[in-house]
Structure 1
Amino acid sequence: MTDEELSDILKLLSDEHSRKILQETMKRPMSAEELSEVCDISPQSVYRRTDKLSSYDLLDTEMEHDEDGHHFQTYTAAPTQIVIGISEENAEVTISKREKMADRFSEFINQVRDQ
């Protein structure tokens, strides 16, 4: 990770709205409109933050369709551990996402079938 990326992710995580977006989307998938209401920020601010969070693989996006045929994105965050390591030589950020139980179970079933 470059120094610029390290600074960018630390700045992103220091933002209270970015952290709120991550916490809320761990509970359930949410649209930008819902996040705007919950976080009390404009939709444009939500999109800026979700774009950045997605670029670091902290948010997953999925396209949804409403009854009128319109489409919109929903955002979901998996529980994540972010470790910041600083030594004499360098500084680094390690991001580890915890797999969802359903995904782990599906992987287990597929491994059993393959044996």
Structure 2
Amino acid sequence: MAREPSANESSDLQPVLDALDDADARAIIRGLDEPKTANELSECCDIPLSTTYRKLDLLTESGLLEEGTEIRSDGHHTTTYSVAFEEVRIALTEGRDLDVEIARPDQGPEERLADIWTAVREET
């Protein structure tokens, strides 16, 4: 999933609200002080693994988490998850609609290059 994390991004309101309204999803966000695997999150948050995977899907689809890959020397790579936002803002627009904006951290050059290569691979 390629994103431009440096920019503030408008997202669909309902998926973000659903994710933030879920106690297990909030526990996962609090548990992500560094990138972790689903197994690590299940253990540190004391959430069953099957529930952890559902919550990780909810959080990644809403744009609040991002997936990464941990390269292991044994060749069995694993997916890691990290928080993909610094701030979530909900505002009332002039048209009296609610709008959500996700403020994302700035990326370094290596992360931007990795995103570009990911996008190229997805298009080819």
Q: TM-score, normalised by structure 2?
A: 0.67
Shift of 1:67: 4.6
Aligned match of 1:81: 87
Aligned match of 2:98: 91
Aligned match of 1:57: 63
Judge conservation of contact 2:85–2:102 (CA < 8 Å) in 1: no
Amino acid at match of 1:44: S
Amino acid at match of 2:29: L
Cα separation, 2, equivalents of 1:86 and 1:79: 20
Cα separation, 1, equivalents of 2:14 and 2:63: 16
- 1:23 maps to which of 3, 19, 30: 30
Q: Structure 1 stretches of 5 or more lacking a match?
A: 108-115
Shift of 1:66: 3.8
Q: CA RMSD in A?
A: 2.8
* Higher RCO (CA 8 Å, separation ≥ 6 residues): 2
Shift of 1:50: 1.2
Give the total of aligned pairs.
102
Per-residue CA distance 1:59-99 (angstroms, 9 max, x = gap)? 12112244543222111114520011135621111111122
Judge conservation of contact 2:37–2:81 (CA < 8 Å) in 1: yes
More helix by share: 1
- 2:48 maps to which of 42, 46, 53: 42
Point out 4+ residue stretches in structure 1 off by more than 6 angstroms: none
Shift of 1:54: 1.3
Judge conservation of contact 2:35–2:82 (CA < 8 Å) in 1: yes
Aligned match of 1:13: 20
Aligned match of 1:111: none
